[in-house]
Amino acid sequence: MFLDPANFRHPAFRTGMADAFKVAPGIWAWGLMTGVSMVQAGLGTAMSTWMTLLVYGGSAQLAVTPLMAVGTPVWVVLATAFCVNLRFAVFSLHLRGYLMAWPRWQRLTIGYLIADLNYVQFVQNHPQPATDAAGQRAEMAYLCGNCFLTWAGWQIASVLGIVLASQVPLEWGLGFAGVLALVGILCSLASSRMRTVSLVVSGAAAIAAYALPLRLNILVAIAAAVAMCLVIEKTAGVNKAAT
């Protein structure tokens, strides 16, 4: 994986790291505030640290933290985490086309590390899956570099947040830097009219369906936006170059 020189000596590894660095301050601020939030919700320093190191999923951690603090049954905690993570299942369907060339343990290791922005930056950099071994190696090296920098930054920031929990008030709203990182990536993705339609439909649906439990509004919004775009493509005959 990361210890494999074929990955970390590959030039694409640096490209992946450089891309991750563009959004790194957002990731750090977000990780920091996730660490602070877990401790302030009453999870304890040791538990919060282990959760950060093992679970590695900000939205799921924040969703289950209040449940665990009041002793909710484990199956409810696990089901909540899975539902909050469901958007990743959509990503995995997309990534399947890139990753099936690799052995299963390698797919699972890199898959575990692919968070929202890693997925988005990866498919933005590699719009089509490679068909030859050299191209697949370049994809894997990019993913390794991109995910490694995100992972390291997130973990350091989270642990810092856990340690400094009493010194960093949540009210400052430093976590907004994470939202701004996503806003920046959204701007870079909105490169065609159809993609902008997807953005608007999804955003509106996410607010309209906000009352759904377990952040299922995200899944509803993705489905609504993709369906709407496919329908417009069919009826208006938008050519493929427009996407």
User: Residue 93 and residue 114: Cα distance in Å, rounded?
Assistant: 13
The gap from C-alpha 185 to its chain's centroid, in whole angstroms, comes to 12
**To the nearest whole angstrom, how small is the minimum distance from the Cβ of residue 76 to other proteins?**
11
Give rounded-to-5 percent helix, strand, coil for the chain.
Answer: 80, 0, 20
Whose Cβ is closer to other proteins: residue 13's or residue 91's? 91
Whose Cβ is closer to other proteins: residue 86's or residue 156's? 86
Residue pair 57/85 in contact (Cβ under 8 Å)? The answer is yes
Total residue length of the chain: 243
Whose Cβ is closer to other proteins: residue 13's or residue 119's? 119
**To the nearest whole angstrom, how small is the minimum distance from the Cβ of residue 202 to other proteins?**
4
**To the nearest whole angstrom, how small is the minimum distance from the Cβ of residue 9 to other proteins?**
26
Lookup: tokens for 234: 């069919």
Residue 2: DSSP 8-state? T
Whose Cβ is closer to other proteins: residue 152's or residue 209's? 209
**To the nearest whole angstrom, how small is the minimum distance from the Cβ of residue 36 to other proteins?**
16
**To the nearest whole angstrom, how small is the minimum distance from the Cβ of residue 34 to other proteins?**
14
Residue pair 143/16 in contact (Cβ under 8 Å)? The answer is yes
Whose Cβ is closer to other proteins: residue 12's or residue 20's? 20
Closest among 90, 141, 100, 148 to 120, alpha carbons compared:
90
User: Residue 123 and residue 121: Cα distance in Å, rounded?
Assistant: 6
